[in-house]
Structure 1
Amino acid sequence: MSRSTPGTHDFPITASRDIYEGRVMAVRADTVRMPGGREATREIVEHPGAVAIAAVDEQDRLMMILQYRHAVRRRLWEMPAGLLDHAGEDPVAAAARELAEEVGLAAEHWSVLVDAVPSPGFSEEAIRVFLATGLTEVDRPDLGDDEESELELRWIPLAEAVDMALRGEIVNATAVAGVLALQAVRDGHGEPRPTDAPWPDRPTAFAKRKS
């Protein structure tokens, strides 16, 4: 079979089987037809999607959290973030929930700062990072004994957060993207989008599976 013109092949899925289904993710194996006609197996992590929040106060400081992440066995600097809880959940509502639960803040103004797909080679995960301003304090709920109960909260000036990212002290991919995108906006290289901006990469497979 002759190859298609580069950029035109649509990689059709000829078969798919489930490998694993858990509480926050699933894994399936897709059989995909490649440009030359052969078939290849691609193992895909289904993910519910997530939101993160660049919460900025009037002094241009970011609310950051230091959170233990078991996969890397250490604490990482991150932005407040969380999973979309169900199919069709409003991402802004999810972001507001996570902002209140994790750091005890509410925001008057919301916009879309940047979208990211952290591991597109094997995962459907997509994260929308919101910019939140006009902040006020609210009560945080009891977080029990999970990792979130041990969060260290810190206001970090944006310029310092940029330096931390470039020094390799902030390595969480979403936080790096959010920090650098916010600095680009501050430098006049772009504008945040409205909260209802299209999000074509928002994953749907895991939500459909759970519903």
Structure 2
Amino acid sequence: MSTPPEPAGGATWFETLDEDVVYDGFSTVVRETVSLPGGGEMQREVVRHDDAVAVVPVLDDGRIVLLRQYRQPLRRYVLEIPAGKMDVGGETPEEVAHRELAEEIGQDARELIHLVSFANSAGWTTETTHVYLGRGVHPVARPDGFEPEAEEADMEVVTLDADDAVALAHSGDLIDAKTLVGLLMAAPHLRAT
């Protein structure tokens, strides 16, 4: 893999001079004052958010397990791969993958293959999503004490043939970023099984 080219004018340095927490809730919004390499300052609002893990779960017959979940910002249901935040201290991405599969679809994967980690929106949030392919997906009990709430209580589990799921990604019928990334990165592995 090649190294990305340096920015025009050589190496640059941006230094955070000050930050002010504007909002602290599900996410934290911080207004940062940053020095510019050529002099001067700029302000940027940065959303600090937990990283996330997403899994493309593949059943033994080759079908992909997806979820139809309501998403308030879009005011609609969205077809997605199972995913969740890394919001339990000390959990590795793999542990989060297993937990989320059990919570959301009542399944687990015998094998997890890391496909990619990507910055969700590098211009405004710190969140990174770690995407895995899950093979050997099999039923398991939901974790003790887990009760689906809010949108999760209304999720519908959907299974699709792998080729059909990837075709939906290519056709533009899927709009969720982690699902698009996951299915397109998983596609070569799906053909190999």
- Taking structure 2 as the reference length, what is the TM-score of the superposition? 0.88
Alignment of 1:91-102 (within 5 A): 91-102=93-104
Structure 1 runs of 4+ with >6 Å offset = none
Counterpart for residue 3 of structure 2: none
Residues 146-184 of structure 1 show CA distances to partners (whole Å, capped at 9, x for unaligned) of 111111111112211121112221110000000000113
1:97-176 paired onto structure 2 within 5 Å: 97-140=99-142, 143-176=147-180
Residue 140 of structure 1 deviates from its aligned partner by: 3.2
Secondary structure at 1:169's aligned position in 2? Answer: coil
Amino acid at match of 1:95: A
Letter in 2 for 1:119: S
Mapped partners of 2:66, 2:14: distance in 1: 40
- Output the CA distance in 1 between the equivalents of 2:154 and 2:52: 21
Structure 2 unaligned blocks of 5 or more = 1-6
CA pair 47-108 structure 1, distance change in 2 beyond 3 A: same
Residue by residue over 1:30-62, the C-alpha shift from the partner in whole angstroms, topping out at 9 and shown as x without a partner, is 111123211000100001111011111222221
Amino acid at match of 1:131: L
Q: Separation in 1 of the partners of 2:141 and 2:44?
A: 44
Q: Which runs of 5+ in 1 are unaligned?
A: 189-211
Aligned residue in 2 for 1:60: 62
Larger fraction in strand = 2
Secondary structure of the equivalent of 1:8?
coil
Q: Residue 39 of structure 2 corresponds to which residue in structure 1?
A: 37
Q: Does residue 11 in structure 1 map to residue 14 in structure 2?
A: yes
Give, in whole Å, the separation in 1 of the partners of 2:182 and 2:10.
Answer: 30
In the TM superposition, residue 7 of structure 1 has moved relative to its aligned partner by: 4.9
- For 1:177 and 1:54, the matched residues in 2 are separated by 10
**TM-score computed with the length of structure 1 as normaliser:** 0.81
1:84 to 83, 86, 90: 86
